[in-house]
Structure 1
Amino acid sequence: MKVSIIGGGGRVGSNAAFALQCAGIVSEIQILDANADMAEGEALDLLHGSSSIADQRIYAGDYNRAKDSDVFVITAGLRRKPDESRLDLINRNVALFSGILDSMKAAGLRKDALVFVVSNPVDILTQLAAAKLNLPWQQVLGLGTMLDTARFRSLIAQELKLAATQVKALILGEHGDSMFPVWSSATYAGLPLTKIAGCTPTFQSQIFERTKGSGAEVIRRKGGAGWAVGLTIAEVVHAIAHDKRQVLPVSTVQQGAYGLRGVAISVPTIVGRAGALAHVEVELWPKEQQALQASARALNETFAKIKA
């Protein structure tokens, strides 16, 4: 499988490339960036380590060379400021993102190519990509609340002294201010997480608030997220490459699940080789259902204001 990372010279793109290299699952990784020297440098640095870990083709390229890619991972974007919400990035990032989409269209895409949006605000840009590229909804995915979910699970495990890989709990909705936790289906080793000692209503509230503020915390401390987001990008790409049919909280344009249509937002989604195979409409608590609807309304209101 060939993966092209647009914005691969930046922190998120380069970390994603490293995560994909370490797993050795995809066969080809192409790095594209507006800064051609940076793209060449990142590709060369990764190539230098290839003999230690995986037999892959890794190189810097351009849109024309990328047109036969199986998956386009778009990470390019302007960095969020410490006190800026993700949705505040819209006016600064839409023009940049639209230019990338135009370049992809000009070069051409395979009919079965998948477009995986990571750039923020990810839900808005995922919806924009689906509209501008005129691809079936299944072929355009956003990272959505994957990173929020990973942070949520990891922080729960850390605080309750649990094995992180056995904590299964979701963040759904917008990747941003209106995201919400799904405690109704949260489990630890298959057991209800809310029944685990220490998982009190107060703990639940505190851990979600810390999760929600994690992005700003990382920006404040080290300038921006990198490793965790790189791993979550790789998790989605590997679900595609291995046709895992794995349920993930990616963002896609909704087709009727939970009564939602036409808005890109994260709900449980089966991901495989053809992209988003289906949405899984698991039962939510009433307050979770209300939070999902509120999140969709917020995204619709914002999308209506952008100049695409």
Structure 2
Amino acid sequence: MKVAIIGGGGRVGSCAAYALQLGGIVREIILLDANKATAEGEALDLLHGSAYTADQVIRAGEYADCAAADLVCITAGLRRKPDESRLDLINRNVALFRDIVRQLNEAGLRKDAIVFVVSNPVDILTQLALDDTGLPKNQVIGLGTVLDTSRFCSLIADALELPPTQVRAMILGEHGDTMLPIWSSATVDGVPLTKFPGVTPAFQSQVFARTQKSGAEVISRKGGAGWAVGVGIAEVIHSIALDRRRVLPVSAHVSGLYGINGVCISVPTVVGRTGVIRQYELELWPKEMQGLQTSAKALREVLATVRGK
């Protein structure tokens, strides 16, 4: 698989490239960035470690290189400020993002290419990518709440002294202020998480509150997220490359599930070689269903404003 990363010279893009290199699954990694020298430097640094990692082609490139890419991952964007919501980014990022998509269209995307949006606000930009590329709905996906879900599971495991890989719990909805935890189906190696000692309503509120603030916490301490989001990006790309059909909370267009229509939002989604294979409507607690619909409503309102510009 040939993967092009737009924004590959930035923190998120370069961490994604590193995770893909360590994964050793994709055949070619191309880094594009507005700062061409930075992309070249990142590609060269990765290339220098290839003898100890995987047999891959790693290089900097141009938009023309995206024409042959199996997957184009867009990480470029302006960084979120510590006190800024992801949706507040929209006025600063939409013009930049749409110009990127325009250049992709001019370069000539493959008809079977996957466009994978990571830039924030990811749900809104995923919908705009769907609007502007004209690709089928299954071929345009966003990172959605994949990172939030990883943070959520990792924090639960840390607090309860459990193996992180055995904790299974999802964050659904918007990647932002209205995201919601799904406790109703959370498990540890198949055992309901709510049955574990210490998993009280107070514990649930505390862990979710920290999950919500995790992005801002990382920004305040080191300037921005990198390693965890890179791992999350690689998880999605590897599921596509190997047709693993993993169930992941990516952002994709929803039509009818959970009473939601006409917006890209994170719901349980089977991700494989053609992108979105299917989406699942799980039985949720009433408050979870209400929260998911509220999240979709908030996104629709912002989307209507953006499309009107």
Q: 1:259-284 CA deviation, whole Å, 9 max, x = no partner?
A: 21210100000000000111011110
2:182 equivalent in structure 1: 182
Q: CA deviation at 1:198?
A: 1.1
What are structure 2's unaligned runs of at least 5 residues? Answer: none
Matches within 5 A, 1:152-171: 152-171=152-171
Runs of at least 4 residues off by over 6 Å: none
2:124 equivalent in structure 1: 124
Q: CA deviation at 1:223?
A: 0.1
Q: Which amino acid in structure 2 is aligned with residue 18 of structure 1?
A: Y
Q: 1:217-238 CA deviation, whole Å, 9 max, x = no partner?
A: 0000000000000000000000
Q: 1:57-98 CA deviation, whole Å, 9 max, x = no partner?
A: 000000112211001000000000000000000000000000
Matches within 5 A, 1:257-276: 257-276=257-276
Counterpart-to-counterpart distance in 2, 1:124 and 1:288: 22
The residue matched to 1:252 in structure 2 has which SS? strand
Q: Do structure 1's residue 108 and structure 2's residue 108 form an aligned pair?
A: yes
Counterpart-to-counterpart distance in 2, 1:57 and 1:15: 17
1:90 equivalent in structure 2: 90
Counterpart-to-counterpart distance in 1, 2:194 and 2:290: 20
Q: Do structure 1's residue 150 and structure 2's residue 124 form an aligned pair?
A: no
Q: CA deviation at 1:12?
A: 0.1
Matches within 5 A, 1:27-38: 27-38=27-38
Q: Which amino acid in structure 1 is aligned with residue 31 of structure 2?
A: I
Q: Which amino acid in structure 2 is aligned with residue 14 of structure 1?
A: S
Aligned-pair identity in percent equals 67
CA RMSD of aligned residues (A): 0.6
Q: Which amino acid in structure 1 is aligned with residue 36 of structure 2?
A: A
Q: Which amino acid in structure 1 is aligned with residue 127 of structure 2?
A: Q
Count of aligned residue pairs for this structure pair: 308
Counterpart-to-counterpart distance in 1, 2:66 and 2:133: 16
2:196 equivalent in structure 1: 196
Q: Which amino acid in structure 1 is aligned with residue 195 of structure 2?
A: K
Q: CA deviation at 1:155?
A: 0.2
Counterpart-to-counterpart distance in 2, 1:225 and 1:113: 27
Q: 1:15-68 CA deviation, whole Å, 9 max, x = no partner?
A: 000000001000000000000000100000000000011000000000112211
What are structure 1's unaligned runs of at least 5 residues? Answer: none
Q: Which amino acid in structure 2 is aligned with residue 226 of structure 1?
A: G
Counterpart-to-counterpart distance in 1, 2:75 and 2:255: 25
Counterpart-to-counterpart distance in 1, 2:92 and 2:53: 38
Counterpart-to-counterpart distance in 1, 2:31 and 2:75: 11
2:80 equivalent in structure 1: 80
Q: Which amino acid in structure 1 is aligned with residue 176 of structure 2?
A: G
